[in-house]
A and B are shown apart, each in its own frame.
Chain A
Amino acid sequence: AQSVTQLDSQVPVFEEAPVELRCNYSSSVSVYLFWYVQYPNQGLQLLLKYLSGSTLVKGINGFEAEFNKSQTSFHLRKPSVHISDTAEYFCAVSSTSMDSNYQLIWGAGTKLIIKP
């Protein structure tokens, strides 16, 4: 079984400052890792994903994340945030095994609050 922990429920940051949203996971099997973003009153949009290969993954809107297997982390970063990045960010994992039907296990979310 897998679990996902997003350590911060809210992260306030000034516009144009860098940000890191933390995600740790627990799993006894190999996993795929995802970050989704949810803007107010909307569905979820895939930001980026890690399947295999390079541990640094680049996504949309200038976001990137680094997979750290030894620390079981997949933190999301952006070097300079914009007011339009205000949203809730969800980390999710799925097993790489077909037996799991690739179901996503979700973190509780982190609200990114951009201060002008």
Chain B
Amino acid sequence: ETGVTQSPTHLIKTRGQQVTLRCSSQSGHNTVSWYQQALGQGPQFIFQYYREEENGRGNFPPRFSGLQFPNYSSELNVNALELDDSALYLCASSLATGGNGYTFGSGTRLTVV
């Protein structure tokens, strides 16, 4: 059973640029969630995808967008990067049946300069 894989592991971008982060979900999982974790804080929910549709969104502006593909892998896109977007971005996959918990990837560390 493969786990959740995220790429890249680290990234440095300039303010105003755009970035795409990628996530391969655990085998058999059909739901993917993305979280932003700023230094010293807990994860903040960005959005969740189930069967290629967004089915939940946290308090993040529209410049944060995503996609889920037929193989349940996912992308997180952030446009017009701001310095405050510097954080660890975590992807988690699960079965959409509740109670199973989420399997997390190791994250992508994004630094905006």
A-to-B contact residues, CB < 8 Å: 32, 34, 36, 42-46, 49, 51, 90, 94, 96, 98, 101-104, 106-109
A103 to B31, CA, bound (A): 11
Interface residues on B, range: 20 to 34
Residues of B within 8 A of A42 (CB): 106-107
User: Which residues of B does A touch, CB under 8 Å?
Assistant: 4, 6, 33, 41-45, 48, 50, 55-56, 90, 92, 94, 96, 98-99, 101-107
A106 touches B101 (CB 8 A): no
Number of A-B contacts (CB under 8 A): 56
Whether the Cβ atoms of B94 and A102 lie closer than 8 Å is: yes
Q: How many Å from the CB of B64 to the closest CB on chain A?
A: 16
Contact between chains at B99 and A32 (CB < 8 Å)? yes
Known: A43-B90, A46-B102. Contact between A104 and B45, CB under 8 A? yes
Contact: B99 with A101, CB < 8 Å? no
